[in-house]
Amino acid sequence: QPVLTQPPSVSGAPGQRVTISCTGGSSNIGAGFDVHWYQQLPGTAPKLLIYANNNRPSGVPDRFSGSKSGTSASLVISGLQAEDETDFYCQSYDRSLSAWVFGGGTKLTVL
């Protein structure tokens, strides 16, 4: 059972905006550890999408944004495009486990 909870799937029409949530607890997100997001195309390695809650690496479009509040974080994708139909994972650190932890992943479907 993943430590961080994500919805298994979300969907939206092209051009719309979707939000993917990532819920943790007092030993990880709530303890102040940053949340990071990764995008994974089928059959490929994950790629860093958002780091330290709301920062985009070079080359990531500004359609992708992140936020964090309390024990949760969110990834917002605006202006949905067909190429966004991939899997997304959140990640943080858990001090009780002394380990890096992931969410279970969310599959985005562009209708």
Q: Interface with other proteins by CB under 8 A: which residues? A: 2, 33-34, 36, 38, 44-48, 51-52, 57, 89, 91, 93, 97-105
In the bound state with other proteins, the residue whose beta carbon lies nearer, of 30 and 46, is 46
> Please, what is the minimum distance in Å from the beta carbon of residue 49 to other proteins?
10
In the bound state with other proteins, the residue whose beta carbon lies nearer, of 38 and 64, is 38
Please give the Cα distance from 43 to 103 (Å, whole number): 19
In the bound state with other proteins, the residue whose beta carbon lies nearer, of 45 and 82, is 45
Phi-psi region of 13 (alpha: psi -120 to 50; beta: other; left: phi over 0): beta
Phi, psi angles (nearest 5°) of residue 84: -80, -5
